[in-house]
Amino acid sequence: MMTIWPAPAKLNLFMYITGRRLDGYHNLQTLFQFIDYSDLIEIKVNDSGHINLITKLIDIPKENNLIVKAAKLLKLAAKKYLLINSGATISIRKKLPIGSGLGSGSSNAATILVALNYLWKTKFTINQLAELGLQLGADVPLFIHGYSAFAEGVGEKLRRVNIKQKWYLITYPNININTSDIFSSNNLTRNTKYCNMNQLLKLPFTNDCENLVRSNFVEIDSIISSLSRYAPTRLTGTGSCVFSECNNKQDAYDLMKLIPKYAVGFIAKGINMSPLHTVLSRIIHTTS
């Protein structure tokens, strides 16, 4: 039986870098919210013992794809409990651009861990899956836990929050940005003052990566400058996507008419619970 699982996008409503760690990573303070816009991952488990990703993604060899890595990681972690011949055939309907700051790869990895944990009956808890996911990327635990959160550390220390569910115009400038290029830049701001969550929620939201990205990519600078005249507009994560906060869905559609021809846009609503967990609950309910 084939099952279909969403891998949703996230926005960083704000992101501050408070220092650089000895291991080269950065200490962050960021506010994550999901949006109702997702990749869809199709999974059919089998007894082949192999993980087969049948969708080809440009510029990503299968062995480097986080989908394959996540499946193999779960299988290795569960080798004491899992039948040796458990396998899966996986395909993906890709909607989230890679290198866009929407969490595309991390979300895909989290969905694979959550879905195969259920389908293979490996019975790891959400916290255990999040610990596994952290090996694949700092954002993976967010997608595994599945709720909007204030995050610290490298992004793995999560505190659940309920955020107003606004409508957003998301603008993708057809540019893919490598996160490591931004975090390794000498021009990145790394000394933002640490504040507690309640203080940060009362301050205007900004992103410490935005000035650097705007200085390196004139197209992104132009989009933010243009759309900011009509709605609060910021970079998400390390980019390249830009999001504009709108009062309602119609305002978002009206704003989308203003994006440049070299970019593409879509409308999404902020949500505080990941659709991945909604699907998991529905599947558990229907099969119990």
Q: Binding residue per annotation — 274?
A: no
Q: Measure the CA–CA gap between 144 and 85, rounded to whole angstroms.
A: 25
Q: Give Cα separations from 237 to 32, 46, 249 (angstroms).
A: 10, 37, 23
Q: Which ranges of 172-237 would DSSP assign to H, the alpha helix?
A: 179-183, 197-202, 210-216, 218-227
Q: Binding residue per annotation — 103?
A: yes
Q: Binding residue per annotation — 106?
A: yes
> Largest alpha-carbon pair distance within the chain?
58
Give catalytic residue positions. Answer: 10, 139
Measure CA of the first residue to CA of the last residue in the chain; give whole Å. Answer: 16
Q: Measure the CA–CA gap between 32 and 149, rounded to whole angstroms.
A: 5
Q: How large is the angle between the packed helices 126-134 and 66-77, nearest 10 degrees? A: 120
Q: Binding residue per annotation — 91?
A: no
Q: Binding residue per annotation — 275?
A: no
Burial status of residue 225 (CB atoms within 10 A of its CB: 0-12, 13-18, 19 or more): exposed
Q: Binding residue per annotation — 98?
A: yes
Q: Binding residue per annotation — 265?
A: no
Under 8 Å between Cβ of 62 and 79: no
Under 8 Å between Cβ of 280 and 118: yes
Q: Measure the CA–CA gap between 104 and 116, rounded to whole angstroms.
A: 18
Query: Nearest-CA neighbor of 241 among 102, 137, 139, 108?
Result: 102
Q: Measure the CA–CA gap between 152 and 16, rounded to whole angstroms.
A: 10
Q: Binding residue per annotation — 19?
A: no
Q: Binding residue per annotation — 180?
A: no
The annotated binding site is made up of 97-107
Annotated binding site for ATP: 97-107
